[in-house]
């Protein structure tokens, strides 16, 4: 039986927080993933990324991060929701891919939750970590409301 000592556990993802803290990270992520949200070109994306990074580090829910973006930056809730969802998914996918790349020869599989036709093209596809899937993306998010993930592919 495996036992886990949870006494030192605390919520949060410090690696994703570090990724999201990089200057220009959110703008570059939107550009690289070929995703745009109406109105996002008129906002300070580094300020939004700072809030996302803090939320990731604290283990905050997406709704909490969205609320902070609305309250601190005055964004409308739909745009704040979209950017919070995208940013949190992006940072966690980038962190996961970084973990997988550290293992030589590891392959990853895209798991689509059926959120769009684009994501469904990647569903079940297996590539070497860091290589592009069918749509040209190395990792989610691939669409505006992406709920996909990548996971290590293990053959038995």
Arithmetic mean of pLDDT, 10-21: 93
Domain count for the chain, please give it. Answer: 1
Phi and psi at 21, nearest 5°, equal -85, -10
Q: Distance (Å, rounded) from C-alpha 146 to C-alpha 154? A: 24
**Residue ranges of the alpha helices (H) in the chain?**
14-20, 25-32, 45-58, 62-73, 77-101, 117-122
- Would residue 2 count as lying in a domain? no
Average pLDDT, the chain: 93
CA 142 and chain centroid, separation: 10
Domain with 87, as residue range(s), is 12-153
- Would residue 80 count as lying in a domain? yes
- Would residue 7 count as lying in a domain? no
Is pTM, for the whole model, over 0.85?
yes
Residue 155, pLDDT above cutoff 90: no
Judged by DSSP in three states, 140 sits in: coil
Q: Distance (Å, rounded) from C-alpha 28 to C-alpha 15? A: 18
127 pLDDT tier (thresholds 50, 70, 90): very high
Residue 49 confidence (pLDDT): 97
Q: 44-73: per-residue pLDDT in tens?
A: 999 999 999 999 999 999 999 999 999 999
99 pLDDT tier (thresholds 50, 70, 90): confident
Arithmetic mean of pLDDT, 125-138: 94
Arithmetic mean of pLDDT, 14-21: 94
Residue 1, pLDDT above cutoff 80: no
- Would residue 3 count as lying in a domain? no
């Amino acid at each position: 039986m495996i036992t886990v000592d949870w006494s030192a556990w605390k919520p949060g993802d410090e690696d994703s927080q570090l990724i999201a803290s990089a200057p220009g990270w959110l703008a570059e992520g939107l550009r690289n993933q070929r995703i745009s949200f109406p109105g996002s070109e008129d906002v300070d994306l580094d300020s939004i990324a700072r809030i996302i990074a803090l939320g990731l580090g604290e283990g905050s829910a997406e709704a909490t991060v969205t609320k902070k973006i609305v309250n601190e930056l005055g964004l409308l809730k739909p745009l704040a929701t979209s950017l919070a969802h995208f940013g949190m998914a992006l940072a966690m996918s980038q962190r996961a891919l970084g973990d997988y790349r550290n293992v030589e020869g590891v392959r990853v599989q895209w798991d689509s939750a059926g959120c769009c036709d684009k994501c469904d093209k990647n569903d079940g596809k297996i590539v070497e970590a860091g290589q592009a899937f069918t749509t040209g993306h190395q990792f989610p998010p691939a669409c505006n409301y992406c709920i996909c993930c990548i996971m290590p592919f293990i053959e038995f």
